[in-house]
Every structure is written in structure tokens, then in C-alpha cells.
Structure 1
Amino acid sequence: MSTATVQGAVIRSGELEFRQLDGCRVATAVGPHLGARIVRLDVVRVPSGAVWRPQSSAHEENVVVVFAGSGSAASGAARRRVNRADTVYTPTGDLYELSADAGMDLTAYVWNTTLRPDRAPGTEPRRFSRLWNEETQLKGFTGTGQAEASARTATMNFLFWPGTGSPQLCLHCGFMQPGEYFNVHVHPESEEAFIAFEGKGQLHLDGQWYDAEPGDVLYAPPGVPHGTRHPDEDPAAPRFATCGGPTPFDPVLYQRAGVSTKVR
């Protein structure tokens, strides 16, 4: 059973409930059943040699993170080979597609949202990236004051964000070495949905820390404190990485990083 409260939820990957849909298996980790009104996070398992092509995606803004397997992905007319940790962005108006290689299933986490009337896609949005892209980063994040901050701060990569043409969704990857934190914070107007992608660590939700393993999901509604940490003090321990982001994007994160919040 997921660890859930009125103020959000931590959803364990082993307890996601999958349904058959268009030849694939789909589980909704975050959605209306948790009270989410802005963002939905689906987990999609594409069988060997099969294709996932949701027609509804043309009406939404979508971000895909490949969690396991390999194949190809399309964003509108653009197509690329994808493997674990590759990422795909599709603006409203375009379809996305995922194809699994023969002999290997492909698992992806997919964020989607409906654009607000005052927002529009960027002029030339970035469509493909990778979680380990270090082009634009936030370092030294001290949180927003809801909990004591650690000086041992994690690093966050910005993959899809206003600077790459994303008007509402974003995708960030935070990676923590042993003892590091992405300090507790809130988003006043945004719903946060992110996953534990690599290694073992802990997720903070509304005053409590929860152990997390790859595939686990955290959902925090607007104003609810959340964060991450790598509690292992052994310097040889593998890093802990998470990915996701607030919807709509929170300009505070980009202001802290010293970059523009203008959608390109």
C-alpha cells in the first residue's frame, strides 16, 4: 500500500496497478485519485516490438523519462533512439510515440498536463535530452525555510524548462552523493510529481522522511513541504538520483540558479 496522507503521497513502484491499454500496460501513479488537478504521471510498459501511441497526447504537454529498456521515441516529426535515462518532450499540438526494441520491454514514466489559457509552447522547444545533461544546473539550494537546511547540497540538472521552450511542464534531475540533500521546500502554486530513478535514498513529505528505491513516486500538492536526501554516510555508496518537477514550473528554482524564467 502506498504511504498516503491528505497532504500528498509516496507511491511504491511495486504496488502500482496496471491496466491493459492499446496493447501496452499503463498505471496512473499520480492523478485525480490523489487529488491532483494539474499534473498526471503515468507509468507505461511497452512490450517487446510494440508501439505506444496515445492519440490524446496532442491535446497535452508531455515529458517522458525512459526508466528501463531501449527502443525509439518520436516527438512530433522528430525521432530518436532511446535508452534508460533518455528523455523526451512533446509540446501541445504534437503526438509522442514510444517503440520497444525486439526482445526487450520498454518502461517509461510520462508526465502530462493541459496548458493554461495564458501559456503557449516555445518557438523551438528542445525535444530530446538525458537526465545526466549538465548544461544548466542549480547548486547550493537551501530550501524555502520549512525545515532546517543542510549545507551538504545536491546538484540539480534542468533538462526541460522555460529556457528550452517548456511553458508549463518541466523536468529536473537531482543527484545526491552520500550525505547530500535537496533541501525541503514548497511550491506555492504547483503540484510536484517526481520519481526515485537511481540508487537508494529518502523522500521528504510534509514533515516525514520515507525510504525510497528506484521507481517510487512522490506527489506533493501546492504548499506541501517536500525534498530528498541520501542518508548513507559511506562515501563509497552509490549516488541517489531523482527526476520530475513542479507543474506549472516554479520560477524560484531558476531564479536561485541565476537563469531566466522566460519561455523561449
Structure 2
Amino acid sequence: MHPAATDTTRGTVIRADRLAFHPEGPCQVACAVGPHLGARTIRLDVVRIPAGATWKRPSGTAEENVAVVFQGTGQATSGRHRRPIAAADAVYAPTGDDCELTADRDAPLTAYVWTSRLLPGRPRATAPRRFTSLWDTTAQLTGFTGTGQAAPPARTATMNFLFWPGTGSPQLCLHCGVMQPGEYFSVHVHPHSEEAFIAFEGSGQLHLDGRWIDAEAGDVLYAPPGVPHGTRHPAQDAAAPRFVTCGGPTPFDPMLYERAGLSSEVI
């Protein structure tokens, strides 16, 4: 496969083993996507929390946070709301609310955290969804054939909508793509959104600007506005483990919800 891009104006793939961590209190944090890649609306951090420790991101009046547990168990707080969490659980902290993650006493916790400053004019929900799981199938996109940058595949993957306008998220979103062997989430572009997503489970390939790149769990893709991207599970063995990704465009792209026959109005 081709190596990851070095010209970050066209996006890049960041390998999990190449992340540079720095201390933040008792925790270790690596900025995978942010201004160093030219990102203007999205930041994606990887947070390692030691057993029994707490990581907290205070939210400003115009900032949203979404956290996905990659490994471990613990507790999550979104504003005044608190829940137990485990791998594949997700937390949304709307503007003005803190996002806090605490690892259980017997093991560390690793989470990926998306952060965005709310753009002017974005509405705010009064009772947004705060907790969910990557496996929530309540709202989905199936049969997605892309936006014309590549020929549509024969087998399309399924995308779960987890945090999106229909759950009260005005800008940040979280989607989960579940691919069985031979399935694609078709190549597409977001004209006005930055895309940041991770390979969450299994092995597969990420498309970035005309290239397919091998990916393992923990790897990150960043695509600026207008840069083609997608995912696929190229395995030929039908019994191979699934390939799962999660993340999404920021600000959310109404096109995805329109393709699913859903409203993109914030509720």
C-alpha cells in the first residue's frame, strides 16, 4: 500500500504507534488532529488515563466535546450527568458542559476525544443525547454510493448515526461505520467540513485523495474540506473479523442525513 500523505493540505493518516504523548496531569494526551495539520474546526486527542485517575476537559461557552472509549472501563461525566462506560461507549458534552472521564481502579482507560468550537449561528438543543454506544442502530445510512469521485462499490457498508442533529448535536457528530469483508463506505467529499475519524476495530483500508492505505485499530484519518475519503474491508475471507471506524465531518454534513432520508434539523 502507499504510505500516508506528507502534504497535510490534502489530509493524512496518522498511525497509532506514531502518536506523540505529553503529560496532562496524571494522564497522557496526544493531539492526532489539530492546527498542526491545518485543521480549523476540529481537534482530535487521544487520552490515556491511568487506573483510578480522572481526565477532565472544561468546556467553554462555545465548545463541544465527543469522547469514544477505545479501551478500558470507568465513569463518564457530561455536565451534571454521569454514567459507567466501557469500550465502544460514547459521550457528548454540549457547549458549556465539562467532559470528564475516570478510569476504574484496576485498569487504565484510553479514549479518543473530538473537540470543536461552535460556529456562529449554530442552534443549541435543550436536551441533547449525552451517552450512546457505537453499536446503536436506531438511525442508519445504508446503500451509500458516494459523491461521484469513484465508481460505486457492489457492496456498501452500514453507518450508525450516534450524535447528529437528530439527537441535538448542532455541529459535532459521531458516526460508526461497520464493514463486513468485501464492504465499502464509498469514497465521498464534504465541501465545507473537516473529517476526522479512527479505525476502531479490526483491519481494513482508508481511502484518502486517490490512495488506499492499510489501517489498524487506533489509526486516524484527517481529510480537509473537498478531499475524497472513504473506507473498505478488502478481506476475501467471509469469516474475517469486521472492520469498524468512527468519527465524522465537522461541521456535520447534511448530505449524509438526506441520503438516509432523515432531517438535518437540530432538535
TM-score of the pair, normalised by structure 1: 0.98
Cα RMSD (Å): 1.1
Question: 1:230 is matched by which residue type in structure 2?
Answer: H
- Aligned equivalents of 1:2 and 1:74: distance in 2? 35
- Aligned equivalents of 2:6 and 2:102: distance in 1? 33
Report % sequence identity: 67
Alignment partner of 1:134 is 2:155: no
- Aligned equivalents of 2:127 and 2:44: distance in 1? 25
Mapping of residues 155-234 of structure 1, within 5 Å: 155-234=158-237
The Cα of 1:96 is off from its aligned counterpart by 1.0
Q: Deviations over 1:100-139 (max 9, x none)?
A: 0012100000001000110132121000000000000000
Q: Deviations over 1:2-27 (max 9, x none)?
A: 64323000000001000001211000
Partner of 1:4: 6
The Cα of 1:58 is off from its aligned counterpart by 5.7
1:149 pairs, out of 152, 155, 167, with 152
Question: 1:212 is matched by which residue type in structure 2?
Answer: A
The Cα of 1:54 is off from its aligned counterpart by 2.1
Give the secondary structure class of the aligned counterpart of 1:53: strand
Mapping of residues 62-101 of structure 1, within 5 Å: 62-101=65-104
The Cα of 1:60 is off from its aligned counterpart by 1.3
Question: 1:4 is matched by which residue type in structure 2?
Answer: T
Kept after mapping to 2: 8 A contact 1:57/1:96: no
- Aligned equivalents of 1:53 and 1:249: distance in 2? 25
2:122 pairs, out of 101, 104, 119, with 119
Give the secondary structure class of the aligned counterpart of 1:33: helix
2:17 pairs, out of 10, 14, 29, with 14
Partner of 1:249: 252
Give the secondary structure class of the aligned counterpart of 1:88: strand
- Aligned equivalents of 2:179 and 2:6: distance in 1? 25
- Aligned equivalents of 1:249 and 1:181: distance in 2? 21
Partner of 1:110: 113
Kept after mapping to 1: 8 A contact 2:199/2:246: yes
Question: 1:204 is matched by which residue type in structure 2?
Answer: H
- Aligned equivalents of 2:247 and 2:124: distance in 1? 19
- Aligned equivalents of 1:97 and 1:146: distance in 2? 40
The Cα of 1:65 is off from its aligned counterpart by 0.2
- Aligned equivalents of 2:180 and 2:238: distance in 1? 8
- Aligned equivalents of 2:123 and 2:112: distance in 1? 24
The Cα of 1:237 is off from its aligned counterpart by 0.3
* Structure 2: gaps (5+ residues): none
**Matched positions, count:** 264
Q: Deviations over 1:134-183 (max 9, x none)?
A: 00000000000001110200000000000000000000000100000000
Question: 2:233 is matched by which residue type in structure 1?
Answer: H
Alignment partner of 1:259 is 2:262: yes
